[in-house]
Amino acid sequence: MSKVVDALSILLVLGASLAFAVGVAALGERRDLAAIYWLAIGGLVLRAAVELLRPRSSTR
Amino acid sequence: MTEPGAAQRSLRSATPAFVSNGPSALGSLRDRANTLLPGLYAWVTTVLLPSLSHGAPGSARVTAALALFALLSAPLLVSTRPSLGRMLGIFAFIGCSLLTWLLLGAKVVQSPGDPLVSALGAVAFTLYALGWGSQRRRGVVPEDAPNVIAGPPLQPRTRSHPIAPFVFGLVIVSSLVPIFLAFRVAEAERSLFAHAVAVLAAILTITVGARVATSLGQRRALPASAERLNAAAVPLALSALLFGLGFLWLVVR
């Protein structure tokens, strides 16, 4: 299960990078709404990747 | 633990590598090739060529020449006068380049057919900046320094996962894609915003990617898998919701 979560975190980071790339490409094509949409998705996905690493409810 | 005084008792005479014998000019330039070569490329592609374009003000060409002077003189001085060398190589070169771009104004924007040249110029500036990091001189062995505290080599507390370098390399490559895509934006103001977004995205992606790569396989440092997934549930759910809304909008449109 831990390996699955590790793989998920890697996929989330790469997915966030892809979303940012699509958002920047949309900026160049003057599709501002689509750019904001993809940048927001990239931010949320990156946030999810961070939460997988250091969740606030972790116990020591 | 080795006592600090042991260094004095086992004091070795300074090796020639730590005594400055005034390297030749050619030797200084050769030693700083890691900054000189990318700096020259960056200067030629992003400073010299725009300043030589038709209609460029003479003041821009003067500042471009000053930037070149700072770039070439810094390696000659960095060995004997490190502070002055660094000031010339970093602040003077970058400052004169920036002043050249300001004086050129709209002419500094590359034509739409040269985004690759601009992108490579940016990469060259990055390599130039990295080259000014701490670097030991040729032939210097750190353990031969007179103030070193002898002792067994320090062992890392944990070992990284074997695929961690591959994962981090993949993250770096993927984070560069938005930066290169930003060079395809033609309009000046939109391009500036796209570059800012791309750089911010790259910084965030590399930061998180580094943490992911170093945490691979670290079972004791992380909570249970179920707890990790629960913590990421909210941003994952919001992402899924946004995806759903986007798909719905595509269908309805």
- Give pLDDT tens digits for B77-100: 887 888 898 899 889 999 999 899
pLDDT at B2 over 80: no
Q: Are B88 and B193 contained in the same domain?
A: no
Of B170, B184, B229, the CB nearest to A28: B184
Which of A4, A8, A29, A52 should one mutate to test binding to chain B, selecting the residue with the greatest count of B CBs within 10 A?
A: A52
In chain B, which among 159-198 make CB contacts under 8 A with chain A?
A: 167, 170-171, 174-175, 177-178, 181-182, 184-186, 190, 193-194, 197-198
Q: pLDDT at position B57, please? A: 85
Amino acid at residue number B183: F
How many CB atoms neighbour CB B233 within 10 A?
A: 13
Q: How far is C-alpha B252 from the geometric centre of its chain's CA atoms?
A: 45
User: How much is the average pLDDT of B57-71?
Assistant: 92
Whether residue A26 is contained in a domain is answered as yes
Contact of A21 with B202, CB cutoff 8 Å: no
pLDDT above 70 coverage of chain B, percent? 79
Whether residue B1 is contained in a domain is answered as no
Residue B214: closest C-alpha in chain A: A53
State whether A58 and B205 contact (CB < 8 Å): no
Whether residue A42 is contained in a domain is answered as yes
Which of B222, B230, B253 should one mutate to test binding to chain A, selecting the residue with the greatest count of A CBs within 10 A?
A: B222
Which of B161, B172, B173, B174 should one mutate to test binding to chain A, selecting the residue with the greatest count of A CBs within 10 A?
A: B174
Q: Are B170 and B92 contained in the same domain?
A: no
Record the tokens describing residue B223, joined without a space: 């909570």
> How many residues are there in chain A?
60
Contact of B225 with A58, CB cutoff 8 Å: no
pLDDT in tens, B190-238: 888 888 899 899 999 999 999 888 888 766 566 677 777 777 888 888 8
Give the span between the Cα atoms of B21 and B27, in whole angstroms: 12
State whether A49 and B232 contact (CB < 8 Å): yes
Whose structure tokens read 């992606």? B205
Q: How far is C-alpha B7 from the geometric centre of its chain's CA atoms?
A: 36
How many CB atoms neighbour CB B222 within 10 A?
A: 19
Q: Are B128 and B181 contained in the same domain?
A: no
Amino acid at residue number B150: A
Whether residue A59 is contained in a domain is answered as no
Whether residue B29 is contained in a domain is answered as yes
- Count of domains in chain A? 1
Whether residue A24 is contained in a domain is answered as yes
Whether residue A36 is contained in a domain is answered as yes
B219 touches chain A (CB under 8 A): yes
Of B185, B230, B232, the CB nearest to A28: B185
A44 touches chain B (CB under 8 A): yes
Q: Are B129 and B168 contained in the same domain?
A: no
State whether A2 and B225 contact (CB < 8 Å): yes
Whether residue B233 is contained in a domain is answered as no
Whether residue A8 is contained in a domain is answered as yes
CA triplet A7, A12, A14: central angle to 5 degrees? 95
Whether residue B5 is contained in a domain is answered as no
Q: pLDDT at position B243, please? A: 82
Residue B198: closest C-alpha in chain A: A24
Which one, of B67, B132, B140, B56, lies nearest residue B99 by Cα? B67
Q: Domain residues for B78?
A: 18-137
Whether residue B31 is contained in a domain is answered as yes
Whether residue B143 is contained in a domain is answered as no
State whether A25 and B181 contact (CB < 8 Å): yes
User: pLDDT truncated to tens, each residue of chain A (60 aa)?
Assistant: 778 888 888 999 999 999 999 999 998 888 888 899 999 999 999 988 888 876 545 444
Q: Are B51 and B99 contained in the same domain?
A: yes
- Count of domains in chain B? 2
Give the span between the Cα atoms of B110 and A11, in whole angstroms: 36
Residues on chain A touching B185 (C-beta within 8 angstroms): 24, 27-28
Whether residue B215 is contained in a domain is answered as yes
User: How much is the average pLDDT of B15-22?
Assistant: 40
Q: Are B103 and B132 contained in the same domain?
A: yes
- Largest Cα–Cα separation, chain B: 81
Q: Are B113 and B165 contained in the same domain?
A: no
Helix (H), strand (E) at residue A30: none
Higher pLDDT, B206 or B249: B206
Q: Domain residues for A28?
A: 2-53
Helix (H), strand (E) at residue A55: none
Of A5, A41, A47, the CB nearest to B228: A5
Give the span between the Cα atoms of B89 and A46, in whole angstroms: 37
Q: Are B22 and B75 contained in the same domain?
A: yes
pLDDT in tens, B123-154: 888 888 888 876 666 677 877 778 888 888 78
Calculate the alpha carbon distances from B125 to A60, B135, B189 in Å: 44, 18, 22
ipTM above 0.90, yes or no: no
Q: Which string of DSSP letters, residue by residue, matches chain B?
A: ---TTHHHHTPPPPPGGGS-----HHHHHHHTHHHHHHHHHHHIIIIIHHHTSTT--HHHHHHHHHHHHHHHHHHHHTTTSHHHHHIIIIIIHHHHHHHHHHHHGGGGSPPTT-HHHHHHHHHHHHHHHHHTS--PPTT--GGGSTT----PPPPPSS---TTHHHHHHHHHHHHHHHHHHHTT--SHHHHHHHHHHHHHHHHHHHHHHHHHHHHTT-TTTS--HHHHHHHTHHHHHHHHHHHHHHHHHHHH-
pLDDT, averaged across chain B? 78
Of B212, B215, B231, the CB nearest to A57: B231
Q: Which of B106, B137, B168 lies at the terminal end of a domain, its last residue?
A: B137
Q: Are B129 and B49 contained in the same domain?
A: yes
Whether residue A60 is contained in a domain is answered as no
Of B177, B208, B230, the CB nearest to A13: B208
State whether B232 and A41 contact (CB < 8 Å): no
Whether residue B213 is contained in a domain is answered as yes
